[in-house]
């Protein structure tokens, strides 16, 4: 662990009461080199005073690996900030703009005046709120390059009709739920808009802790100290999910993590795992872990144990919820856990930074944190009944959008294991690939495929020649500027791998103007998911984009290879695909006139 | 110096970024530059969490010196059964 990381760890430890956060925020601001944190600039447009959240948010963001610079507009100035080109909003050059607009401030009749409202007036107020907030969100997207984070409405401080509210034909609480639903639907139609679930944060905390009458009276701050911290935590978690790819694999310890006690000492019958306390706590944790697996998170084991004992337990303990084949990798021996994590990453062909580590032992956690700072080490509470909260709140596996591919991933990795077995028994690679019965579909990027394309560009590290992380907005701008953008889907006898490849070629301005009609193309991005690595699918995609560039009149397709710590799997791609080295280092060129179709061991359909 | 006084000074030091040793009985919003209106609200929130108390708005605006804070806490903690009252655990 280097000096800077050690200093940050020191600043961020022992956080509990507000004073400790305020002190940590000051020390954090004074750290000159925050290079290990991912920078993110956030600007808040709100209908109330938001400033008190800022130091808590800076600290919570740093705990999740983000260097957040937060700016706050004057409260109540929403459209004004967007309309004035010299406003603080534009000066901040935000990556994320948060809109925090309360019903109480925008349509107060839905708050205290609710009992006197006719149904039509409730509808009108909901419409007015949703339309104005959605218009603000659209305006942020049109006028800035930032993504927009939209608050929904927490439960109201008081219910106008009191006890009678649930029995009303139009209940106030239902009206707020309806407003939140309508707002979420409106935002779903705005690319680059993400919901901030303030309603959920307030519900977890309880309205009595959320609201603070004193701060509201003194400074138009609708929430108290505990709420400021809770908002900061949720904001940090959301920003992490917006900025960094989620972890792919959860590496679990066994003793005192999946069950209570030590298997090697207490034996099969002595460990705590079952329907009654304390075993029930571990059993329900295993159920949650299985849910993670079903969501597409890979599970792995790193345990210091006798492998035979563990195998016996898996085979014979009837309260084990997790089965051996729920784990994509297992490291059960007495070697150190940092080595186990490296071995797991290598076996799954993912980066070490895609691992999250969950171990009840603070010693093991500290060791891994020191040896492998890029691993997300989850702070595990002493009380096992709080394991679930710690895992959920770590945000290590947070996705802002759940795609169909995410739901299929667990299944895909399992079929991948079967595929590898087949690979071992097949003869040549081409024979193996033919036996896989692969079908490749290639098409142009459109509105429907855009979210998955951006997701793939955002998280693919290995087979990625330039590692450019374009947002949906940037991609659209590139396509509008004449780029060729293609996606690739791969299916085989074991199932649908989903959309697993993206290629984008930009027209290259020619040096001689008489050639302007026939620009050459340059591969801006070429990525493929590691799920289909080593199956020559990349050649089908390259071929398709080369053909389209040729149809545009191009004579050359340029390729660029930008090496990173992880993209070694793509290093030989251009040479393999028939590119020649360009005069410039790191650049390659493919003569489109000479490039002939190659025989590929699968069917390719272009749509 | 009582335990309460030490804790008051440590909260003030953390909130405004000053060394605890520089804080005396006469320290106030006039002697600490960072003690502006927004940081004052941070201070109120931090004191409430440290001592597990809740100030009324009128009290909160008057907590502008070490002495005023000690007096206000003495009154509130006294009502709650003496200075030994356990602080509320912060979340």
Q: How confident is the model at residue A603 (pLDDT cuts 50, 70, 90)?
A: confident
User: What integer best gives the mean pLDDT of chain A?
Assistant: 89
Q: Does A222 touch chain B (CB under 8 A)?
A: no
Distance CA(A416)–CA(A238), nearest Å, equals 31
List, for residues A197-254, the tens digit of each pLDDT value: 999 999 999 999 999 999 998 888 989 999 999 999 999 999 999 888 899 999 999 9
Q: What's residue A535's pLDDT?
A: 78
Strand pairing of A439-444 and A484-492? Answer: antiparallel
Distance CA(B64)–CA(A352), nearest Å, equals 51
List, for residues A383-439, the tens digit of each pLDDT value: 999 999 999 988 899 888 766 666 566 566 656 656 665 555 545 566 767 777 888
Strand pairing of A520-528 and A463-464? Answer: antiparallel
pLDDT of residue A37 exceeding 90: no
Q: What's residue A567's pLDDT?
A: 82
Distance CA(B26)–CA(B30), nearest Å, equals 10
Say if residues A89 and A97 touch (Cβ distance below 8 Å): yes
3 state SS for A204-260: HHCHHHHECHHHHHHHCCCECHHHHHHHHHHHHHHHHHHHCCCCCEEEECCECCCEE
Residue A33 has which token pair?
């080199």
Q: Does A215 touch chain B (CB under 8 A)?
A: yes
Q: Please count the other Cβ atoms lying within 10 Å of the Cβ belonging to residue A46.
A: 24
- Please report, rounded to a whole number, the percentage of residues in chain A having pLDDT higher than 70: 92
At A360, phi and psi to the nearest 5?
Answer: -70, -15
* Structural element, H or E, at residue A79: helix A79-83
List, for residues A305-361, the tens digit of each pLDDT value: 888 889 999 999 999 999 998 999 999 988 889 999 999 999 999 999 999 999 998
Residue A353 has which token pair?
């930074």
Distance CA(B52)–CA(B73), nearest Å, equals 10
Q: Does A525 touch chain B (CB under 8 A)?
A: no
Cβ contacts of residue A131 below 8 Å, gap of 6+?
Answer: A186
* Structural element, H or E, at residue A269: helix A263-270
Tell me A372's DSSP state. Answer: -
- Using CB atoms, which residue from B44, B46, B56 is nearest to A17? B46
pLDDT of residue A513 exceeding 60: no
- Using CB atoms, which residue from A19, A55, A224 is nearest to B50? A19
Average pLDDT for A121-139: 96
List, for residues B40-73, the tens digit of each pLDDT value: 999 999 999 999 999 999 999 999 999 999 999 9
Q: Which residues of chain A form CATH 3.40.630.30? A: 428-606
Q: Which residues pair with residue A299 across a beta bridge?
A: A250, A327
- Using CB atoms, which residue from B17, B37, B56 is nearest to A214? B56
A38-243, which class in CATH?
A: alpha beta
Q: What's residue B86's pLDDT?
A: 43
The string of DSSP letters for A160-198 reads TTGGGGGGSSS-HHHHHHHHHHHHHHHHHTSTTEEEE-H
Residue B57 to chain A, least CA–CA distance (Å): 5
Average pLDDT for A145-149: 94
Q: How confident is the model at residue A533 (pLDDT cuts 50, 70, 90)?
A: confident
Q: Does A98 touch chain B (CB under 8 A)?
A: no
* Structural element, H or E, at residue A147: strand A147-151
Domains belonging to chain B, first-starting first, are 3-79 (1.10.1200.10)
Say if residues A572 and A538 touch (Cβ distance below 8 Å): no
Asked whether the beta carbons of residue A219 and residue B49 sit closer than 8 angstroms, the reply is: no
Q: How far is CA A275 from the centre of its chain?
A: 34
Asked whether the beta carbons of residue B45 and residue A18 sit closer than 8 angstroms, the reply is: yes
Size of interface A-B (CB pairs under 8 A): 64
User: Is pLDDT larger for residue A547 or for residue A514?
Assistant: A547
Q: Please count the other Cβ atoms lying within 10 Å of the Cβ belonging to residue A128.
A: 14
Cβ contacts of residue A512 below 8 Å, gap of 6+?
Answer: none
Q: Does A59 touch chain B (CB under 8 A)?
A: no
Torsion of CA B16, A65, A139, A198, to 10 degrees: -70
Say if residues A183 and A138 touch (Cβ distance below 8 Å): no
pLDDT of residue A512 exceeding 80: no
- How far apart, in Å, are the Cα atoms of A315 and each of A71, A312, A320, A353, A570? 56, 5, 9, 32, 41
Sheet containing A96-100: which strands, arranged edge to edge? A66-72, A38-46, A96-100, A147-151, A193-196
pLDDT of residue B89 exceeding 50: no
Strand pairing of A484-492 and A495-508? Answer: antiparallel
Q: Which chain B residues have a beta carbon less than 8 Å from that of A17? A: 46, 49-50, 90
Asked whether the beta carbons of residue B42 and residue A18 sit closer than 8 angstroms, the reply is: yes
Say if residues A499 and A456 touch (Cβ distance below 8 Å): yes
Buried b (16+ CB within 10 A) or exposed e, A73-99: bebebbeebbeeeebebeebebbbbbb
- At the second CATH level, the architecture of A249-394 is 3-Layer(aba) Sandwich (3.40)
Distance CA(A385)–CA(A337), nearest Å, equals 24
- Using CB atoms, which residue from A23, A26, A226 is nearest to B91? A226
List, for residues B2-45, the tens digit of each pLDDT value: 889 999 999 999 999 999 999 999 999 999 999 999 999 999 99
Residue A252 to chain B, least CA–CA distance (Å): 27
pLDDT of residue A36 exceeding 90: no
pLDDT of residue A186 exceeding 90: yes
Alpha helix segments (H runs only) across A426-536: 429-436, 450-459, 472-480
Distance CA(A13)–CA(A7), nearest Å, equals 10
Q: What's residue A459's pLDDT?
A: 83
- Using CB atoms, which residue from A19, A51, A52 is nearest to B10? A19
CA within 13 Å, CB half, A101: 26
Q: Which residues pair with residue A252 across a beta bridge?
A: A301, A358
Q: Does A168 touch chain B (CB under 8 A)?
A: no
Residue A529 has which token pair?
């998911």
At A510, phi and psi to the nearest 5?
Answer: -70, 155
| Ramachandran bin of A189, using left for φ above 0, alpha for ψ from -120 to 50, beta for the remaining angles | alpha
Q: Which chain B residues have a beta carbon less than 8 Å from that of A228? A: 45
- Using CB atoms, which residue from B37, B42, B57 is nearest to A214? B57
Q: How confident is the model at residue B82 (pLDDT cuts 50, 70, 90)?
A: very low
> Residue A578's closest CA among A561, A592, A563?
A592
Torsion of CA A602, A603, A604, A607, to 10 degrees: -150
Q: Which chain A residues have a beta carbon less than 8 Å from that of B10? A: 19
pLDDT of residue B81 exceeding 50: no
Q: pTM for the complete prediction?
A: 0.67
pLDDT of residue A289 exceeding 70: yes
Q: Does A29 touch chain B (CB under 8 A)?
A: no
* Helix A472-480 / helix A450-459 crossing angle, nearest 10 deg: 110
Residue A184 has which token pair?
């979420």
- Using CB atoms, which residue from B42, B50, B61 is nearest to A218? B61
- How far apart, in Å, are the Cα atoms of A220 and each of A49, A74, A264, B71? 6, 12, 59, 27
CA within 13 Å, CB half, A244: 26
> Residue A191's closest CA among A138, A152, A240, A246?
A138
Average pLDDT for A539-551: 92
Asked whether the beta carbons of residue A226 and residue B90 sit closer than 8 angstroms, the reply is: yes
Residue in chain B nearest A27 by alpha carbon:
B17
Q: Which residues of chain A form CATH 3.40.50.1000? A: 249-394
Tell me A35's DSSP state. Answer: T
3 state SS for A300-328: EEEECCCHHHHHHHHHHCCCCCCCHHHEE
Residue A573 has which token pair?
């791609």
Say if residues A270 and A313 touch (Cβ distance below 8 Å): no
- Binding-face residues of B in 71-90 toward A, CB within 8 A: 90
Fold of A428-606: Aminopeptidase (3.40.630)
Strand pairing of A556-560 and A520-528? Answer: parallel
At A327, phi and psi to the nearest 5?
Answer: -100, 125
Say if residues A127 and A78 touch (Cβ distance below 8 Å): no
Q: Which residues pair with residue A338 across a beta bridge?
A: none
Residue B10 to chain A, least CA–CA distance (Å): 8
pLDDT of residue A569 exceeding 60: yes
Average pLDDT for A566-573: 84
Q: Which chain B residues have a beta carbon less than 8 Å from that of A224? A: 45
pLDDT of residue A6 exceeding 80: no
Cis before A413? omega within 30: no
Q: What's residue A517's pLDDT?
A: 63
Average pLDDT for A79-102: 94
Q: Which residues of chain A form CATH 3.40.50.1110? A: 38-243
Q: Does B54 touch chain A (CB under 8 A)?
A: yes
């Amino acid at each position: 662990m280097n000096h800077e990381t050690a200093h940050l760890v020191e600043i961020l430890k022992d956080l509990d009461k507000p004073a400790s956060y305020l002190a940590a925020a000051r020390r954090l601001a004074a750290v000159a080199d925050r290079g290990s944190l991912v920078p993110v600039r956030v600007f808040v447009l709100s209908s109330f005073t938001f400033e008190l959240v800022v130091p808590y948010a800076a600290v919570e963001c740093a705990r999740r690996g983000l260097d957040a610079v937060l700016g706050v507009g004057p409260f109540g100035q929403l459209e004004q900030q967007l309309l004035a080109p010299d406003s603080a909003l534009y000066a901040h050059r935000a990556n994320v703009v948060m809109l925090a607009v309360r019903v109480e401030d925008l349509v107060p009749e839905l708050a205290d005046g609710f009992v006197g409202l006719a149904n039509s007036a409730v509808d009108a107020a909901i419409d007015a709120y949703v339309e104005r907030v959605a218009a603000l969100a659209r305006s942020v997207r049109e006028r800035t390059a930032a993504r927009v984070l939209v608050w929904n409405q927490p439960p109201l401080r008081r219910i106008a009709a009191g006890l009678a509210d649930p029995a009303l034909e139009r209940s106030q609480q239902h009206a707020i739920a309806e407003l939140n639903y309508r707002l979420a639907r409106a935002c779903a139609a705005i690319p680059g808009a993400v919901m901030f679930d303030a309603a959920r944060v307030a519900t977890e905390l309880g309205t009595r802790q959320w609201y603070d009458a004193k701060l509201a009276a003194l400074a138009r701050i609708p929430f108290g100290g505990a709420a400021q911290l809770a908002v900061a935590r949720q904001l940090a978690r959301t920003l992490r999910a917006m900025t960094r790819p989620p972890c792919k694999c959860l590496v679990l310890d066994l003793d005192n993590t999946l069950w209570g006690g030590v298997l090697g000492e207490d034996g099969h019958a002595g460990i705590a795992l079952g329907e009654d306390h304390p075993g029930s706590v571990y059993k329900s944790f295993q159920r949650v872990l299985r849910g993670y697996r079903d969501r597409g998170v890979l599970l792995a084991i790193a345990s210091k144990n006798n492998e035979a004992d563990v195998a016996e337990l898996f085979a014979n303990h009837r309260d084990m919820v997790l089965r051996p084949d729920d784990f994509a990798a297992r490291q059960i021996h007495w070697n150190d856990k940092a080595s186990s994590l490296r071995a797991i990453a290598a076996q799954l062909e993912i980066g070490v930074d895609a691992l999250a580590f969950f171990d009840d032992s603070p010693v093991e956690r500290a060791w891994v944190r020191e040896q492998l700072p890029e691993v997300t080490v989850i702070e595990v509470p002493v009380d096992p009944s709080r394991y679930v909260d710690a895992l959920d709140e770590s945000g290590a596996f947070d996705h802002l959008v759940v795609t169909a591919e995410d739901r299929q991933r667990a299944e895909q990795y399992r079929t991948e294991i079967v595929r590898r077995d087949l690979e071992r028994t097949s003869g040549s690679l081409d024979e193996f690939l033919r036996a896989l019965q692969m079908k490749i579909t290639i098409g142009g990027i459109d509105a429907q495929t855009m979210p998955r394309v951006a997701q793939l560009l955002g998280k693919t590290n290995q087979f990625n020649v330039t590692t450019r992380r374009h947002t949906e907005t940037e991609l659209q701008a590139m396509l509008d500027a004449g780029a060729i953008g293609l996606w690739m889907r791969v299916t085989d006898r074991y199932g649908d791998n989903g959309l697993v490849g993206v290629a984008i070629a930009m027209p290259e301005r020619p040096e001689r103007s008489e050639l302007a009609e026939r620009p050459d193309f340059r591969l801006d991005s070429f990525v493929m998911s590691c799920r289909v690595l080593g199956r020559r699918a990349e050649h089908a995609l390259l071929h398709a984009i080369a053909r389209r560039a040729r149809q545009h009149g191009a004579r050359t397709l340029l390729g660029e290879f930008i090496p990173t710590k992880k993209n070694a799997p793509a290093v030989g791609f251009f040479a393999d695909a028939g590119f020649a080295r360009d005069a410039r280092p790191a650049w390659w060129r493919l003569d489109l006139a000479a490039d002939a179709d190659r025989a590929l061991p699968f069917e390719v359909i272009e749509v | 110096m009582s335990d309460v006084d030490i804790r008051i000074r440590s909260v003030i030091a953390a909130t405004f970024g000053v060394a605890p040793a520089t804080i005396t009985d006469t320290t106030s919003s006039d002697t600490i530059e960072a003690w502006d209106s927004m940081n004052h609200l941070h201070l109120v929130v931090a004191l409430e969490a440290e001592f597990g108390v809740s100030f009324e708005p009128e009290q909160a605006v008057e907590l502008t010196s070490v002495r005023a804070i000690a007096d206000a806490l003495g009154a509130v903690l006294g009502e709650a059964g003496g200075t030994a009252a356990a602080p509320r655990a912060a979340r």
